[in-house]
Chain A
Amino acid sequence: AQKITQTQPGMFVQEKEAVTLDCTYDTSDPSYGLFWYKQPSSGEMIFLIYQGSYDQQNATEGRYSLNFQKARKSANLVISASQLGDSAMYFCAMRDLYGGATNKLIFGTGTLLAVQP
Protein backbone atom coordinates (compact mmCIF):
# COMPACT_ATOMS: atom_id res chain seq x y z
CA ALA A 1 0.00 0.00 0.00
CA GLN A 2 1.13 3.52 -0.67
CA LYS A 3 2.15 5.63 2.28
CA ILE A 4 3.62 9.06 2.92
CA THR A 5 5.46 9.78 6.17
CA GLN A 6 6.32 13.21 7.53
CA THR A 7 8.08 12.75 10.84
CA GLN A 8 8.40 16.42 11.84
CA PRO A 9 5.14 17.72 13.32
CA GLY A 10 6.65 21.18 13.73
CA MET A 11 9.81 23.11 12.94
CA PHE A 12 11.30 26.52 13.61
CA VAL A 13 13.68 28.38 11.32
CA GLN A 14 15.25 31.81 11.47
CA GLU A 15 14.35 34.25 8.74
CA LYS A 16 16.78 34.11 5.78
CA GLU A 17 18.03 30.65 6.68
CA ALA A 18 17.37 27.47 4.69
CA VAL A 19 15.15 24.72 6.05
CA THR A 20 14.55 21.11 5.03
CA LEU A 21 11.19 19.42 5.53
CA ASP A 22 11.37 15.63 5.49
CA CYS A 23 9.17 13.27 3.52
CA THR A 24 9.53 9.54 2.96
CA TYR A 25 7.21 7.43 0.89
CA ASP A 26 6.40 3.83 0.22
CA THR A 27 5.08 2.37 -2.99
CA SER A 28 5.68 -0.80 -4.95
CA ASP A 29 5.00 0.97 -8.23
CA PRO A 30 8.11 2.05 -10.20
CA SER A 31 6.22 4.98 -11.68
CA TYR A 32 5.01 7.70 -9.32
CA GLY A 33 4.97 11.41 -8.70
CA LEU A 34 5.60 13.44 -5.57
CA PHE A 35 4.02 16.79 -4.73
CA TRP A 36 4.46 19.40 -2.04
CA TYR A 37 1.68 21.74 -0.95
CA LYS A 38 1.69 24.73 1.38
CA GLN A 39 -1.29 25.56 3.58
CA PRO A 40 -1.17 28.97 5.26
CA SER A 41 -3.43 29.80 8.17
CA SER A 42 -6.07 30.98 5.68
CA GLY A 43 -6.62 27.30 4.80
CA GLU A 44 -6.03 27.29 1.06
CA MET A 45 -3.78 24.55 -0.34
CA ILE A 46 -1.08 25.94 -2.61
CA PHE A 47 0.79 23.61 -4.97
CA LEU A 48 4.55 24.21 -4.71
CA ILE A 49 6.57 21.62 -6.60
CA TYR A 50 6.45 18.25 -8.38
CA GLN A 51 8.99 15.45 -8.85
CA GLY A 52 8.42 12.47 -11.13
CA SER A 53 10.06 9.14 -10.31
CA TYR A 54 11.85 9.09 -13.68
CA ASP A 55 12.99 12.69 -13.59
CA GLN A 56 16.77 12.82 -13.86
CA GLN A 57 17.18 16.07 -11.98
CA ASN A 58 15.82 17.35 -8.72
CA ALA A 59 12.91 19.72 -9.22
CA THR A 60 13.30 23.40 -8.41
CA GLU A 61 10.77 26.24 -8.32
CA GLY A 62 12.18 29.55 -7.18
CA ARG A 63 13.20 29.21 -3.53
CA TYR A 64 11.80 25.67 -3.37
CA SER A 65 13.78 22.61 -4.33
CA LEU A 66 13.14 18.94 -3.88
CA ASN A 67 15.94 16.71 -2.62
CA PHE A 68 14.88 13.47 -4.29
CA GLN A 69 16.70 10.32 -3.17
CA LYS A 70 15.00 7.46 -4.94
CA ALA A 71 16.92 4.61 -3.31
CA ARG A 72 16.04 5.94 0.12
CA LYS A 73 12.48 6.75 -0.94
CA SER A 74 12.75 10.29 0.31
CA ALA A 75 11.57 13.55 -1.22
CA ASN A 76 12.55 16.35 1.13
CA LEU A 77 11.51 19.93 0.47
CA VAL A 78 14.21 22.55 0.83
CA ILE A 79 13.20 26.18 1.27
CA SER A 80 16.07 28.60 0.83
CA ALA A 81 16.23 32.08 2.37
CA SER A 82 13.14 31.61 4.55
CA GLN A 83 10.65 34.46 4.75
CA LEU A 84 8.02 35.22 7.37
CA GLY A 85 5.37 34.40 4.78
CA ASP A 86 6.70 30.84 4.59
CA SER A 87 5.13 30.12 7.99
CA ALA A 88 2.51 27.50 7.16
CA MET A 89 1.67 23.82 7.19
CA TYR A 90 3.46 21.84 4.49
CA PHE A 91 2.16 18.58 3.06
CA CYS A 92 3.95 15.98 1.02
CA ALA A 93 1.77 13.89 -1.31
CA MET A 94 2.16 11.06 -3.80
CA ARG A 95 0.42 9.72 -6.85
CA ASP A 96 1.41 6.33 -8.26
CA LEU A 97 0.46 4.64 -11.51
CA TYR A 98 -2.93 3.50 -10.21
CA GLY A 99 -3.49 6.93 -8.77
CA GLY A 100 -2.48 8.29 -12.15
CA ALA A 101 -5.63 6.85 -13.66
CA THR A 102 -7.74 8.72 -11.17
CA ASN A 103 -5.33 11.55 -10.31
CA LYS A 104 -5.93 11.04 -6.62
CA LEU A 105 -3.19 11.97 -4.18
CA ILE A 106 -2.36 10.48 -0.82
CA PHE A 107 -1.02 12.92 1.74
CA GLY A 108 1.29 12.88 4.72
CA THR A 109 0.35 14.30 8.10
CA GLY A 110 2.08 17.60 7.48
CA THR A 111 4.82 19.73 9.05
CA LEU A 112 4.03 23.08 10.65
CA LEU A 113 6.82 25.52 9.87
CA ALA A 114 7.30 28.69 11.88
CA VAL A 115 9.72 31.30 10.57
CA GLN A 116 11.12 33.51 13.28
CA PRO A 117 12.33 37.09 12.67
Chain B
Amino acid sequence: DVKVTQSSRYLVKRTGEKVFLECVQDMDHENMFWYRQDPGLGLRLIYFSYDVKMKEKGDIPEGYSVSREKKERFSLILESASTNQTSMYLCASSLRVLKLNNSPLHFGNGTRLTVT
Protein backbone atom coordinates (compact mmCIF):
# COMPACT_ATOMS: atom_id res chain seq x y z
CA ASP B 1 0.00 0.00 0.00
CA VAL B 2 1.12 3.50 -0.79
CA LYS B 3 1.86 5.48 2.29
CA VAL B 4 1.95 9.26 2.35
CA THR B 5 2.92 10.60 5.75
CA GLN B 6 2.50 14.17 6.90
CA SER B 7 4.65 14.96 9.88
CA SER B 8 2.05 16.79 11.94
CA ARG B 9 -1.67 16.26 12.35
CA TYR B 10 -2.25 19.58 14.10
CA LEU B 11 -0.12 22.72 14.23
CA VAL B 12 -0.66 26.04 15.92
CA LYS B 13 1.61 28.91 14.86
CA ARG B 14 1.73 32.62 15.39
CA THR B 15 1.38 35.28 12.71
CA GLY B 16 4.72 35.99 11.10
CA GLU B 17 6.32 32.67 11.96
CA LYS B 18 8.03 30.56 9.31
CA VAL B 19 6.19 27.26 9.06
CA PHE B 20 7.36 23.99 7.51
CA LEU B 21 4.91 21.24 6.59
CA GLU B 22 6.63 17.98 5.74
CA CYS B 23 5.40 15.15 3.58
CA VAL B 24 7.06 11.82 2.84
CA GLN B 25 5.91 9.06 0.47
CA ASP B 26 7.29 5.53 0.30
CA MET B 27 6.27 4.41 -3.21
CA ASP B 28 8.93 6.06 -5.35
CA HIS B 29 6.34 8.35 -6.95
CA GLU B 30 7.66 11.08 -9.20
CA ASN B 31 4.79 13.50 -8.61
CA MET B 32 3.96 15.19 -5.34
CA PHE B 33 1.34 17.82 -4.60
CA TRP B 34 0.23 20.22 -1.90
CA TYR B 35 -3.43 21.14 -1.65
CA ARG B 36 -5.30 23.20 0.89
CA GLN B 37 -8.86 22.40 1.84
CA ASP B 38 -11.34 24.97 3.08
CA PRO B 39 -15.08 24.60 3.73
CA GLY B 40 -17.10 25.47 0.65
CA LEU B 41 -14.00 25.76 -1.52
CA GLY B 42 -12.96 22.14 -1.85
CA LEU B 43 -9.32 21.31 -2.50
CA ARG B 44 -7.15 23.89 -4.21
CA LEU B 45 -3.70 23.16 -5.58
CA ILE B 46 -0.88 25.21 -4.09
CA TYR B 47 2.24 23.70 -5.67
CA PHE B 48 3.31 20.47 -7.27
CA SER B 49 6.53 18.77 -8.21
CA TYR B 50 7.16 16.18 -10.91
CA ASP B 51 10.80 15.51 -10.09
CA VAL B 52 13.51 16.28 -7.57
CA LYS B 53 14.23 20.00 -7.47
CA MET B 54 11.40 20.66 -9.94
CA LYS B 55 8.32 22.60 -8.91
CA GLU B 56 5.38 24.31 -10.52
CA LYS B 57 2.85 26.73 -9.16
CA GLY B 58 -0.69 25.58 -8.74
CA ASP B 59 -3.76 27.76 -8.50
CA ILE B 60 -3.00 29.53 -5.20
CA PRO B 61 0.79 29.73 -4.70
CA GLU B 62 0.91 33.19 -3.12
CA GLY B 63 2.42 33.15 0.35
CA TYR B 64 3.86 29.65 -0.07
CA SER B 65 7.01 28.04 -1.35
CA VAL B 66 8.10 24.41 -1.63
CA SER B 67 11.22 22.31 -1.52
CA ARG B 68 11.95 18.93 -3.02
CA GLU B 69 15.52 17.90 -2.35
CA LYS B 70 14.79 14.18 -2.30
CA LYS B 71 12.29 12.19 -4.32
CA GLU B 72 10.38 10.95 -1.30
CA ARG B 73 10.03 14.27 0.49
CA PHE B 74 8.08 17.40 -0.41
CA SER B 75 7.96 20.33 1.97
CA LEU B 76 5.54 23.23 2.00
CA ILE B 77 6.89 26.46 3.49
CA LEU B 78 4.94 29.42 4.75
CA GLU B 79 7.56 32.15 4.83
CA SER B 80 5.54 34.41 7.13
CA ALA B 81 2.34 32.77 8.33
CA SER B 82 -0.85 34.80 8.25
CA THR B 83 -4.27 34.11 9.71
CA ASN B 84 -5.77 33.55 6.24
CA GLN B 85 -3.48 30.54 5.91
CA THR B 86 -5.37 28.75 8.65
CA SER B 87 -6.56 25.65 6.82
CA MET B 88 -6.27 21.91 6.30
CA TYR B 89 -3.23 21.05 4.18
CA LEU B 90 -3.16 17.82 2.21
CA CYS B 91 -0.13 16.27 0.58
CA ALA B 92 -0.49 13.76 -2.25
CA SER B 93 1.70 11.71 -4.55
CA SER B 94 1.27 9.78 -7.78
CA LEU B 95 3.16 8.04 -10.52
CA ARG B 96 4.17 10.18 -13.45
CA VAL B 97 2.64 8.81 -16.64
CA LEU B 98 2.86 10.97 -19.72
CA LYS B 99 -0.61 10.34 -21.04
CA LEU B 100 -4.13 10.45 -19.72
CA ASN B 101 -4.44 7.70 -17.15
CA ASN B 102 -6.41 6.43 -14.23
CA SER B 103 -3.59 6.75 -11.76
CA PRO B 104 -5.15 8.29 -8.67
CA LEU B 105 -3.50 10.65 -6.24
CA HIS B 106 -2.62 9.08 -2.91
CA PHE B 107 -3.15 11.45 -0.01
CA GLY B 108 -1.75 11.86 3.46
CA ASN B 109 -4.04 12.36 6.44
CA GLY B 110 -3.66 16.12 6.39
CA THR B 111 -2.25 18.79 8.65
CA ARG B 112 -4.68 21.17 10.28
CA LEU B 113 -2.82 24.44 10.66
CA THR B 114 -4.09 27.25 12.84
CA VAL B 115 -2.38 30.63 12.65
CA THR B 116 -3.19 32.96 15.53
Contacts and interface: CB of A to CB of B under 8 A. Distances in A.
Nearest to B95: A103
13 contacts: A4-B42, A43-B110, A44-B107, A44-B110, A47-B104, A53-B100, A91-B43, A96-B100, A102-B31, A103-B31, A103-B95, A104-B45, A110-B42
A97 interface: yes
B42 A33 contact: no
A91 B100 contact: no
A9 B100 contact: no
B99 interface: yes
Interface size class of A (residues with CB under 8 A): 20 to 34
B103 interface: yes
B109 interface: yes
Contact of B103 (A42, A103, A110): A103
Interface of B: 31, 33, 35, 40-45, 48, 50, 56, 58-59, 88, 90, 92, 94-110, 112
Contacts of B107: 37, 44-45
Interface of A: 4, 6, 9, 31-33, 35, 37, 42-45, 47, 50, 52-53, 91, 93, 95-97, 100-110
Nearest to B30: A103
Nearest to B93: A103
B88 A43 contact: yes
Contact of A102 (B35, B40, B48, B90): B48
